[in-house]
Structure formats: C-alpha cells, structure tokens
Structure 1
C-alpha cells in the first residue's frame, strides 16, 4: 500500500474578541493536535479590521503546515471544529470573532466547490494575510496568479494599518 502524499498548507488565524493572544495560542495547540505538529509560525500582527471597520483590531498570523496527510475537506472540517471548540459563533460576514481560521493554500491546488475555495479568493487583497505569509513563505507562488507572496504584497490595494504585535 502506498503512503499518502504529504501536504504543505497555509492557514490564516485571526482573533479580535476576548484574549486575542490566548485565542491564537489555543488554536495553534489544537491544530498541532489535530492536523500536524510540523508548523512554522509567522510573527503575530495587529491589524485593522477588514470588510467591517466598526469593530476592534485583530491579531493575525500564518501557519505553514508541512507533512500533513489530510485532504483539503478534512482540514476544513478540523478547523471548523477547532473554531467551534474555541467559541466561534458565525453571526455576520466579516464580523467580530474570537477565532477565525482560513485555508490560504493547499500545495498548488486550485479547488472551488460549494464548501471550499483554494487558494483563498482574497489572499492578494489582504495585507493581514500577505504580511505574515511573507514571514514563512515569501517566494511561494500563487497557483492562479503566478505571483510570489512578495509580488502580491507589493501590488496589494489594502490600505489598512498593520504592525508587529509586541504582546501584552
């Protein structure tokens, strides 16, 4: 029997409710337990909300996960369970949340179905994704746009503020 192909995927984590730093730390621990222990973690960034500006700022980071044997929909199911476990309630699009976990890339896969779109459809428009992504994968090439993370960051139209989070 052939071993499953090991995947490289990128997850974006964000939090703007409660103890944002602790929410991210708990999510990382649950991802280690449920998806893979082989993680590279970007710096944490404090960022302006995107989409709905009438809310508190976010803490955001990117996880680069290597050696996962899970398939895309399996990862989606696991991150949705982690969000629920940490208290995420989906009230409004782009609203406040204690934790938000999105799949940004899954190898060089291009996928679009009713549950999941990979690569994430807004990656090139969001500094809160591109800046931490540049920490762990500056030369990663978007499989559709054929641009590196750094090229997309240079072209990014997002005018929101972003700064390295210094902690409490």
Structure 2
C-alpha cells in the first residue's frame, strides 16, 4: 500500500492542537495538507462546530489497516472517548481512500471489511470531506453508491446549505512552516 486520503476533525479541547498533532506524527509521510475548515457537526447530535482538514500521505510499507491503527493511536493520544456515535470528539482520523501504485497507474483499494470499509462509505455524502479533498486534488474521483465520479460532482449533488457550512479558516496546520 502506498497512498491514503485521511480526513481529520476535532470539536473538543484545543481543536487546532489536536489536528496539528496528526500533521506532526505524519510529517515524513505527508504529500499534501488542506486548509483548515470550520464545519457544523454531522449526524444530528447537538454539539459545537468542528475544525476539519484532509491529508494525503504516502508510505509504501503501510497497508490500509496500518493507517487505521495509526489513526486510532493518534485518537487515543488525544484522549478520544467513544460514547455517542457521531458525537463530540477530541480527534477523529478517518481513512477515506487508499490507493496502490502500479506500473500502469494507481488503483483504488476496495474493502468491505466492517472494521475498515474503503472507500469510506459516507465520504461522498460529507461536504466536510469533499471540500478540503477537492482543494488538494481537483481531479480526484471517488467510487461510491455504485458509481465512480469526480469529487466536484459528488459535491454538487449535496445540499447547498451543507456545502456552504464548510467555511475555510485562516488557521494553519503548520505543515510547510
């Protein structure tokens, strides 16, 4: 395995510091880091807004399950507690997409494993994932719901209010600093 798209988010504690902790941990593997976005919570649980970003990382020695374990370790280091589905959290690290480089190009990894479903089964429905990912990879495509479409097409299919709720901030994750 070599390349992943990770969605990171936080809405408890020092939200920016939690996101920066992921960037610091993955720094040698990072290819790109999006801007930081302020987004309303998703999933219907009342809570404060999130800070979200998307990272593209690469490591030929890691499989998708390794990226998942690494994300979970970072969540544990941020003292994430899983009490309510889609509830508030100090840190959320989701493996959204994984790809394997081949001689003839890059191939997306598909997995129906309940522990790690790839591509992420809800990524195409989440503006807080699509907007920052589109910033990094304007030509990227995502396979979901039985179709492979450009990210911009998935985004255009979402409710305009949800898309408008994803607001770019002036905050930085310090990746290139």
In the alignment, does 2:10 pair up with 1:8? Answer: no
Matches within 5 A, 1:59-138: 59-107=51-99, 108-138=108-138
* Pairwise CA distance, 1:78: 1.2
* Pairwise CA distance, 1:158: 6.6
Of residues 5, 17, 20 in structure 1, which corresponds to 2:15? 20
Where does the alignment leave 5 or more consecutive residues of structure 1 unmatched?
1-5
Q: Could you say what the CA RMSD is over the residues aligned between the two structures, in angstroms?
A: 1.7
Q: Count residues with an aligned counterpart.
A: 160
In the alignment, does 2:32 pair up with 1:40? Answer: yes
| Larger deviation, residues 93-102 vs 136-145 | 136-145
Where does the alignment leave 5 or more consecutive residues of structure 2 unmatched?
100-107, 173-177
Secondary structure in 2 matching 1:82: helix
| CA distance, structure 2, for counterparts of residue 53 and residue 158 of structure 1 | 20
Secondary structure in 2 matching 1:76: helix
| CA distance, structure 2, for counterparts of residue 102 and residue 87 of structure 1 | 16
Give the equivalent residue in structure 1 for 2:105: none
TM-score of the superposition, structure 2-length normalised? 0.84
* Pairwise CA distance, 1:53: 4.4
Q: Which string of whole-angstrom CA distances, capped at 9 and with x for unpartnered residues, describes residues 67-105 of structure 1?
A: 442001111111111110111111110000010000000
Q: Which string of whole-angstrom CA distances, capped at 9 and with x for unpartnered residues, describes residues 114-166 of structure 1?
A: 31101011111111000001011121111342101111111123733111112
Q: Which has the higher strand share?
A: 2
Secondary structure in 1 matching 2:72: helix
The answer on whether the counterparts of 1:31 and 1:79 sit within 8 Å (CA) in structure 2 is no
Which 4+ runs in 1 deviate beyond 6 A?
Answer: none
